[in-house]
Each structure stands twice: as structure tokens, then as C-alpha cells.
Amino acid sequence: MKEIRYSRHYIDSNDINEVIKVLKSDYLTQGPTVNKFEKKISQFCGSKYAVTANSATSALHIACLAIGLKKNDRVWTSPNTFVASANCALYAGCKVHLIDIDLLTCNISLSLLKKKLVDAKKKLQLPKVLITVHFAGNVDNQKEIWALSKKYNFKIIEDASHSLGSSFQKNRVGNCKWSHITVFSFHPVKTITTIEGGCAMTNSKILSQKMNLYKNHGIEKKYHKFKYKNSSPLYYEQQELGYNYRLSDVSAALGISQLLKIDLFVKKRNLIAKNYINKLKYLPIEFQKIHHKTISSYHLIIIKLKTEKIRNKLFNFLDKKGIKLNIHYIPLFMHPFHKFKKLKNSLEHYNRSLSLPAYYSLTTKKQNFIISNIKRFFNEK
């Protein structure tokens, strides 16, 4: 049997054909396919605008710039995330602070957030932006955080890299009902893929225009927006320090084709999660707590073991059987680059958890192989 990893992409012949069509067309980049993909993903999520980028990291960066983050502004985020959730703010020169997670939901703890806001208000150190992360697809307290953002006057970027296809109370992540900008990733392990790619959703025309400017070298091509008067059709002007963060038309073609399958992808991941939970719930294993009003994309299926020692033993046991599990995440404060102080819950989560394999093409046979090996581990122990 081939190695089983925690995630993998799913590409079918329709995807391949759509990519080939664009490869044979007049535009490989900056053509009509990116616009079409942006329309489709906006429709899917229920947002007014979508701005694609060549990665979620780039999309997060232009989101920070469009919101107006400047040097030394305060940005808060979760420690239990991929490094890009903090790096995007650091690129803009901001100071990043971390709020510890709730051990059950694995998202930012609402009570700790409230406490930190009260404290920060007293010290005149309120954040300008909070970047929330719907860990593993679990969107749960965004509505409450939105209310806090009104009370304390900060903006919200959702790092929804895990949660394309998730919803809360029938509100699809990406409709930006409870945030200013929501960012998705199309990395191959995520819900859908464009190989590399990302997208920033928003309902604000101004934010979408600014993000488009920043992703394209800061260059403006529309006559009515020029700062210098010039009616030549050859003229364009650079108005900001921007970047080349564009998604290619080839990638967008793959994105459009993948988006057609998203309901299947999410449904399958939910079935896989249900199967793990049903068959493993009798063992000393905890699963992530998903809010009853949430439909999770189940980007990750997290289990928590009683102790770090058991976790490590289980990891090694499965590794020998060719089941290669992962840990999500090494908390941001554990990286030598950062100087954050350690936070208790994120550290405990890191020490005791593992991500089980979950992806569209994971067969029942393979999943049963994983399940029976986990059971065997606990019987032999």
C-alpha cells in the first residue's frame, strides 16, 4: 500500500481539459478566465467582490494594505495557525499580538479576546485589525467577534484558508457578513485547488479596488482614476507600491472547474469525519468541538490524545504502517523567528493533537485501515 498522507488534491479529466483549453487560448494570464473565476466564487459565497491572488498569503497581504495597516499598527491573531496569518501583517510593518485558543473549538477564545480588549482599551493599545482563523473549517464565533469589532472599533480579516465551503447559520464563509475581508487558499491540500492561489472576498467596492491595485504593481489603467491628466490609450500610472500577486488564467481555469465539485468535496470530508467519530469515539480520543449551527468544510480532522507521550507513540505506530499524520499547528510562538510568549492552550493543543487523513479520494478501505490501526494501538498499549 502507498503511503497515506493527511491530505491530497483531487484532479479529474474535466479539470485537465479546462486547463488545456486556456493553454491553447490567447491569454495565459490577465485574461478573461480570472474574471470569470472571481464571478463564480463571489456567487458561490454570496459576496459582492472577489479579488484573486497567486496565494492566500498574497491575498492576506493585500487585504492588510487595503485596510490601511501601517508601520507599528497592532494586529491580533490566533497562535494556532499557519505562519502566513501573522506574516501578512508583519510585511506591512505591524506589531502582532496573539490571543490564545479555546481547547475545544481550537479557535480564538472569545472570553480571552474580551478580556484582552478590556485591558487594551485601558492601556490605549487596541488593535486596528483582528485576523480570525476558522481552524480546520470550524467557523463558530465570528458573529460575536463582529459585535466586538463595532464596540472596540477594529477591522476584521478572516483567514478562511481552511473554510471554503463552511457555513454558520446558513451564512457561507466568504459572504463577509461578519468581516471586512475574507481570504481563501487554493493550495492543493485545501478544499479546492488552483495549484498555488488565493482569493480575498469583500462587500466593499473601495477595498476590492485597493486590493486590485496592490496585487498589480500599484498600477492604475482606468482613465477616470488617473491622478495625472492623460487621455492616451497607451498611458497607465503607478499610484502605490504594489506587487505582482496576480493569479494566472491557467490557474483560474482549474479553479472554475474545481468549484463545480466543491459540494462533493465538502460532503465527502463530512462523511469521512462522521465515520472517524462513530468508530473511534469509544477510545480515549477527543474530537474538535463543532458548533451545532456550523457546517464544517473539515479541511482537517483533529484528534486529541490524553497526553503528549501517547500522541507521540500513536504517531510512530501509524507512521510504521505507512500512515503519515501531521500536526496543526506548531504555535506561532514556538518558531525562533518570533518573540511571543507561550500561551497555555495552544501549547497543549500542539502537544496532544494529530490530524487524521481526510480528502476526497480517500477510499473506505483506506479509512478502515487507518481506523483499525488506531484501534489496534489502543488494544496493544
Ligand X SMILES: *Cc1c(COP(=O)(O)O)cnc(C)c1O
Among 7, 52, 55, 191, binds ligand X (CB under 6 A): 55
Residues 211, 202 contacting (CB under 8 angstroms)? yes
Q: Does 161 bind ligand X (CB under 6 A)?
A: yes
Q: With contacts defined by CB under 6 A, name the span among 5-13, 53-61, 119-127, 232-240 that binds ligand X.
A: 53-61
Smallest distance, ligand X to C-beta of residue 131, A: 9
Q: With contacts defined by CB under 6 A, name the span among 158-166, 207-215, 350-358, 365-373 that binds ligand X.
A: 158-166
Among 85, 109, 142, 171, binds ligand X (CB under 6 A): 85
Residues 29, 252 contacting (CB under 8 angstroms)? no
Smallest distance, ligand X to C-beta of residue 108, A: 13
Among 116, 187, 210, 246, binds ligand X (CB under 6 A): 187
Output 84 or 96, the one with its CB closest to ligand X.
84
Q: Does 269 bind ligand X (CB under 6 A)?
A: no
DSSP string, 235-268: --EE-S---B-PPBHHHHHHHHHHHTTHHHHHHH
Among 56, 139, 156, 323, binds ligand X (CB under 6 A): 56
What are the cell numbers at 84?
Answer: 502566513
User: Strand 129-133 to strand 155-159: parallel, antiparallel, or no bridges (unpaired)?
Assistant: parallel
Output 85 or 297, the one with its CB closest to ligand X.
85
Q: Does 194 bind ligand X (CB under 6 A)?
A: no
Q: Does 84 bind ligand X (CB under 6 A)?
A: yes
- Closest residue by Cα to residue 194 from 371, 378, 349, 52: 52
Separation of first and last alpha carbons in the chain: 25
Output 76 or 82, the one with its CB closest to ligand X.
82
Torsion angle (degrees, nearest 10) of CA 295, 286, 146, 97 = -140
Q: Does 198 bind ligand X (CB under 6 A)?
A: yes
Smallest distance, ligand X to C-beta of residue 198, A: 5
CB count within 10 Å of CB 18 equals 20
Dist. CA 40–CA 44, nearest whole Å: 6
Q: Does 163 bind ligand X (CB under 6 A)?
A: no
Q: Does 79 bind ligand X (CB under 6 A)?
A: no
Among 47, 81, 216, 367, binds ligand X (CB under 6 A): 81
E strands, the chain, in order: 4-5, 49-53, 74-77, 95-98, 129-133, 155-159, 167-168, 171-172, 181-185, 198-202, 219-220, 237-238, 285-287, 294-295, 301-305, 323-324, 353-356
Among 61, 116, 162, 311, binds ligand X (CB under 6 A): 162
Among 159, 193, 266, 346, binds ligand X (CB under 6 A): 159
What are the residues whose beta carbons fall under 8 Å from the beta carbon of 366, sequence distance 6 or more? 1, 4, 357
Q: Which residues bind ligand X (CB under 6 A)?
A: 55-57, 81-82, 84-85, 133, 159, 161-162, 185, 187, 198
